Amino acid sequence: MSRAAAAKPTDRKMASEKASLHLRIDFGDESALGPGKVRLLELINETGSISAAGRALNMSYRQAWLLVDELNRMCREPVVTAQTGGGGGGGAALTEAGNAVVRLYREMERRTYGAAATEMRALSRLMRRNGPA
């Protein structure tokens, strides 16, 4: 067996392992919920800080704050509550609605991945490891 032929299954396996599916939900009024906003919410929940969550995602505080503001305007109830700085500094926390948004999104994502797993593997087998030559 040639070296190139021996490498094919590994290339396919690696392509399959690296393939991912991203769920984005569009609400029709130019607002959307996707993996970036949900990850920002998760990091706010973990760090207690919009600024720390933004840093973890390599974004400025302003960009993170604008996304939080957009999420708060998208939903009927705020998803993040923030406290301004002071002696102890500011902070942020997810509300019940924020926790529900994260939980529901991750559940939809899990179900979507499960439903598409067979097709993802088949599609991955058709793809080149490093994209077009």
CATH of residue 68: 1.10.10.10
* pLDDT score of 99: 98
Check if the beta carbon of residue 112 is closer than 8 Å to that of residue 120.
no
Asked whether residue 6 is assigned to any structural domain, the reply reads no
Regarding pTM above 0.85, the answer is no
Asked whether residue 22 is assigned to any structural domain, the reply reads yes
Please name every residue paired with 82 in a beta bridge, in sequence order, or none if there are none: 92
Q: Largest Cα–Cα distance of the chain, in whole Å?
A: 70
Each residue's pLDDT expressed in tens, for the chain with a length of 133 residues: 444 444 444 444 444 467 888 999 999 888 999 999 999 999 999 999 999 999 999 999 999 999 999 999 999 999 999 877 666 667 999 999 999 999 999 999 999 999 999 998 899 889 876 555 5
* pLDDT score of 17: 60
Asked whether residue 24 is assigned to any structural domain, the reply reads yes
Residue entry with tokens 């499960």: 114
3-state secondary structure of 20: coil
Asked whether residue 64 is assigned to any structural domain, the reply reads yes
Nearest to 114 by CA among 10, 23, 37, 39: 23
Distance from CA of residue 102 to its chain's centroid? 10
Asked whether residue 45 is assigned to any structural domain, the reply reads yes
**Domain interval for residue 105:** 15-126
* pLDDT score of 104: 98
Kindly report the backbone phi and psi dihedral angles of residue 52, in degrees, each rounded to the nearest multiple of 5, phi listed first.
Answer: -65, -40
* pLDDT score of 129: 66
Give the number of domains in the chain.
1
